A and B are shown apart, each in its own frame.
Chain A
């Protein structure tokens, strides 16, 4: 395969080389440089690039030895001082192990969390930006609505793309269309190897595919690969799946059992940071076979995702301003007024687009903000720990500061020393954090469904970011302690041995901030979990349990449906069967209807079904009847609608609606026969809109309007029910693979963004609280140490353990109480903002607040109690005699 040779010319990262040039003496530089590059090239042959990069860096760091250094005339006293600072830092670290470990581990966890979240956000923001023209690629959208009802579609009619290119040839450089029958899966088979699967990532695309998008091609010619009908490009992993890694070029794959496609190219696996991923790209002209020799010419049906590249220096507005005329020119009269075309930058799709008929569910920019906020919160908590523990510890260093001062140390020198210390500790924490990140990145990738490589940490932006973050945190958190410590009065310090604690008020503020943040995170986690639970489990108005969906689009099922149904229903485990246009509860299509009293037809959400839809999905009727197998005209002259439609038409009641007429072929001879209670036919992000449920019994409907057979099975007999279904399937369609999925699984896919959000917030707020508790633990240790003498005296005077506990925890409890009060309004406000985004949402109740408060209280009292208990065992003799 091509592409293998590229690694030969790969170059290592630049900065270590520069670093080498910086520290290394000229006499050695050329030799050493040659050595590391030779080793690098040698390693590339046997390992991944990122591994070689890493070893390259390690090599160069390993060359930091005295023999190679420039013999600079350095200021030897300064070096000596730094050596001394280093030594003192080390000694302090060792002397106060508990503090130091708490300090560093808290910071390390905080940094690791932030790095992970940053990696996540970085990846989210990188979506669709790898195309060289990504700033000029736009997706064309169609808004087809009348008075707010209708659809906002990500896909367009077949002729739109070419017409845009043709009419606006000066502004539009290229256009490309995607089509996949709007089917969740299509069948492919390699007959020769007897391998057949239902594939979900097949797209038909215009031959201009590579003019718009930059996807890597491993074999074949980008210019011509999609020119001929019946050509197919497959990705590297699919070569493995269908051809066992043999050369597939020129071989054929059978599509849907009736069309042979020749492999004309191999693509690299589609990058995950794109709003669509593909396994197969089929030439668009192959579609002609499915539509009687040409492309559909209708401007009503809109199944093609259409992307255009604007010419350089063309503003999208200049094109949009001409869209009304374009709509007027092409779209049919009866919908013209309700159509608006729009452009959407491709880079915005992943984070902001929530349209009807998206290729796949997108993420949400809100999640990026929330994650970013959580990262900042955790960093703040960790940094506060650091500051608190350093200042609390300051007392222990008072004597050292006194001695240094009396020996002539300037204040600036002391500040330098403590900032140096803090930066040193921050960098050790950073090092640990990076190790943690490397360890958990695979798990994190699994959780967030990403594939970020570990090598991302070696990218210059990241390294620079890490180093500057370490410096910034070190400086910021070192500044205050340095300031406090260096301002001790020499004589006082030396005389007393220690000073009355400075900055206790400042510490109180910091601890309160920490706990406000932690409590807010706990409340937030509760509400997010509750909303997710609500979205996934709230009664949607139909029964999604134990419903099996079988994809049947473009299959010969149309001719065999009644046979299939009869034979399946003989099984005692299968309750009822219907067929539907889309996955119930996730998607709908739109059709034009004109009911009595309307001057012209309007678009309404529409759902094609077969008989028994209402009973299979267990949707209650509000009035009238469901479609009846015995009434022949139900197919055309009858409609079932939902309550919202009744309301929007201004009809008095569901009973009143039954019998209302609608226009069928120019005459008002159709009748509304039934009204169903409202159910969520789209995801709960959206309010319930008017809906028309229409019966479609034509066998040809299975080409387009009926995509799934829906089967209600006995809940405790799933396996036998599926076996019976498969038997029935094989009896009518022995040639086709039997494939199915459960409705409730698929419905929950619509809430993936929320699922991810709740997973991530749960984990990270847990860690944030852990870090905050580490800090509290440290502070409590300190405060107990401060008061050992006091406790000794009190013990002599007869205090008991409970009173000691009260004495020690009182102050922290007050702080947590204040934190609680501060966090309530903040949490309420921000969560309310978030919930506004859902049409169906939970109310913010009082109990998550109470639980969060209690939790914070319990965790912190447990932390403090440990120390209180230890303090109550103090032997007064030990503490009092020590002077």
Chain B
């Protein structure tokens, strides 16, 4: 099932959408990503990822009402779908199961 695969950046975006709950729209996602991951994705890259996620069915979206911000233009809010949540769970389980197989020995190099 090729389409259910999550890219690394997509996974981050998906996590952030989930964590922002009702306030997940492009700018807030961008700000959160910047704060948490120290990378600063361009608005183009972000929208591109969001649109891919939506196409794959991991998130759904609806348009908010017009406010006085942004010159009265509406925002598009995103929500994680049950399918998206499941994909995240699977990914997390996969990683932690692999993680626990790491042998507990010390490695070369500093810390």
Partner-B contacts on A (CB < 8 A): 28, 30-39, 42, 58-59, 61-68
Contacts and interface: CB of A to CB of B under 8 A. Distances in A.
B86 interface: no
Q: Which of A31, A36, A59 has the most CB of B within 10 A?
A: A31
Interface stretch (B12-20, B45-53, B93-101): B45-53
B56 interface: no
Interface string B9-38: 000000000000000001100000000000
The 3 closest A-B pairs by CB, nearest first: A62-B44, A34-B73, A34-B70
A32 B27 CA distance: 10
B9 to A, nearest CB: 14
Given A59-B42, A62-B42, A34 B47 contact: no
Given A30-B74, A37-B73, A67 B43 contact: no
Contacts of A39: 27, 43
A59 B30 CA distance: 13
22 contacts: A30-B73, A30-B74, A31-B26, A31-B75, A34-B70, A34-B71, A35-B26, A36-B43, A37-B70, A37-B73, A38-B27, A38-B69, A38-B70, A58-B42, A62-B42, A63-B43, A65-B44, A65-B48, A66-B48, A67-B48, A67-B51, A68-B47
A59 B44 contact: yes
A138 to B, nearest CB: 44
B50 to A, nearest CB: 9
B37 to A, nearest CB: 18
A554 B63 CA distance: 74
Interface in B70-92: 70-71, 73-76
Contacts of B48: 65-67
B93 to A, nearest CB: 30
B71 A31 contact: no
A31 B43 contact: no
Given A61-B44, A63-B44, A67-B48, 12 more contacts: A30-B73, A31-B26, A31-B63, A31-B75, A32-B43, A33-B73, A34-B75, A35-B43, A36-B43, A37-B71, A62-B43, A65-B44
A27 to B, nearest CB: 10
Chain B contact residues: helix, strand, loop or mixed: helix
A39 to B, nearest CB: 7
Chain A contact residues: helix, strand, loop or mixed: helix
Nearest to B74: A30
A35 B42 contact: no
Interface residues of B, number: 18
A36 B44 CA distance: 10
Contacts of A59: 42-44
Contacts of B69: 38
A63 B47 contact: yes
Contacts of B42: 58-59, 62
Contacts of B70: 34-35, 37-38
A777 B83 CA distance: 64
Contacts of B73: 30-31, 33-34, 37
A704 B45 CA distance: 71
A736 to B, nearest CB: 58
A31 B70 CA distance: 10
A39 B69 CA distance: 11
A35 B27 contact: yes
Contacts of B52: 67
B73 to A, nearest CB: 3
Given A38-B69, A39-B27, A32 B74 contact: no
Contacts of A35: 26-27, 43, 47, 70
A42 B31 CA distance: 11
A64 B47 CA distance: 11
A836 to B, nearest CB: 58
B64 to A, nearest CB: 10
B44 A34 contact: no
Given A59-B42, A62-B42, A32 B47 contact: yes
Contacts of A61: 44
B47 A65 contact: yes
A68 B47 CA distance: 9
A28 B47 CA distance: 10
Nearest to B67: A34
A474 B67 CA distance: 47
A31 B44 CA distance: 12
A719 to B, nearest CB: 56
A743 to B, nearest CB: 58
Q: Which of B44, B45, B75 has the most CB of A within 10 A?
A: B44
Nearest to B50: A67
A45 to B, nearest CB: 14
Q: Which of B63, B71, B73 has the most CB of A within 10 A?
A: B73
Contacts of B76: 31
A432 B74 CA distance: 38
A35 B28 CA distance: 10
Contacts of B44: 59, 61-65
A879 to B, nearest CB: 52
B58 to A, nearest CB: 15
Nearest to B70: A34
Contacts of A62: 42-45
A58 B45 CA distance: 12
Q: Which of A35, A58, A66 has the most CB of B within 10 A?
A: A35
A59 B51 CA distance: 17
Nearest to B45: A62
Nearest to A35: B26
Contacts of A58: 42
Nearest to A62: B44
A67 B47 CA distance: 8
A42 B70 CA distance: 10
A194 to B, nearest CB: 49
Contacts of B47: 28, 32, 35, 63, 65, 67-68
Contacts of B63: 31
A38 B73 CA distance: 10
A28 B50 CA distance: 12
Contacts of A30: 73-74
B70 to A, nearest CB: 4
A791 B63 CA distance: 74
Nearest to B55: A67
A431 B51 CA distance: 31
Contacts of B27: 35, 38-39, 42
Q: Which of A39, A42, A67 has the most CB of B within 10 A?
A: A67
A59 B42 CA distance: 7
Nearest to A34: B73
